[in-house]
């Protein structure tokens, strides 16, 4: 029996293509597996319903992984986060206004800002603000809003309005998921709104991303990679 006639085998092949490439195109999968595009679309629909991938126009993307708690994330990939933070802070200049979003990597960035840097840091993250408590030359401004305890981020309409009135030099967004096609996405709609306005109100955006956040997609779109100046 031709393996192409076995839906389960074919769908496993589709998942393997997605795993290897980080994305899946319906026309390319149709040609590779030598079945119709309608068959591929039906397979993707079933795989999406099973939670094994995320269907998008023209193909599919990986599903995002379950996000550990903030406390657990603080102890993950600390060496990588330190290297990323040191590279990120090398872009900072005296006198700048810097927006730093929530997240454990963003908190690590704040921790590694040079102690003598004279700048203003505006954040929606209480842990970021605390990380800067010993930086006497930095003016720290903490937004208001509702605290999401899973991400330790302040969000909501008041947070959005606060950042809409800011004009910053640099934005450091916290990255939940980053994908070449889907851009930056996150698991919470209110956080997506705040991240988006922070990026829009900044001259440049530097995205510090650990490897586990790459080639993943979450539920709510923040921005395309066209609006990201540097990925660290």
Percent pLDDT > 90 in the chain is: 66
Phi, psi of 10 (to 5 degrees): -65, -40
Q: What's the whole-number average pLDDT of the chain?
A: 90
**Which pLDDT band, with edges at 50, 70 and 90, does 2 fall under?**
very low
Q: Among 143-157, 176-190, 198-212, which is the least confidently predicted range? A: 176-190
Q: What is the pLDDT of residues 68-119, one digit of tens each?
A: 667 767 777 889 999 999 999 999 999 999 999 999 999 999 999 999 999 9
| Pairing of β 202-207 and β 138-142 | unpaired
Q: CA–CA separation, 200 vs 80, rounded Å?
A: 27
* pTM to 2 decimal places: 0.76
The answer on pLDDT for 213 being more than 90 is no
């Amino acid at each position: 029996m031709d393996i192409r006639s076995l839906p389960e085998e074919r769908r496993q092949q589709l998942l393997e293509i997605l795993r290897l490439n980080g994305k899946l195109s319906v026309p390319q999968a149709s040609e590779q597996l030598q079945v119709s595009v309608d068959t591929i679309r039906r397979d993707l629909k079933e795989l999406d319903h099973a939670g094994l991938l995320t269907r998008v126009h023209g193909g599919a993307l990986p599903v995002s992984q379950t996000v550990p708690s903030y406390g657990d994330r603080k102890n993950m990939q600390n060496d990588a986060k330190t290297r990323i933070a040191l590279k990120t802070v090398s872009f900072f200049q005296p006198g700048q206004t810097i927006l730093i979003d929530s997240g454990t990597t963003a908190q690590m960035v704040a921790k590694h800002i040079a102690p003598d840097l004279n700048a203003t840091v505006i954040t929606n993250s209480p842990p970021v603000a605390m990380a800067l408590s010993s930086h006497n030359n930095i003016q720290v401004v903490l937004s208001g809003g509702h605290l999401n305890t899973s991400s330790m981020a302040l969000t909501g309409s008041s947070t959005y309005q606060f950042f809409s009135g800011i004009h910053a030099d640099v934005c450091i967004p916290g990255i939940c998921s980053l994908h070449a096609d889907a851009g930056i996405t996150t698991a919470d709609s209110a956080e997506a709104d705040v991240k988006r306005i922070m990026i829009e109100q900044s001259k440049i955006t530097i995205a510090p991303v650990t490897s586990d956040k790459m080639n993943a997609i979450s539920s709510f779109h923040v921005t395309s990679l066209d609006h990201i100046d540097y990925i660290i």
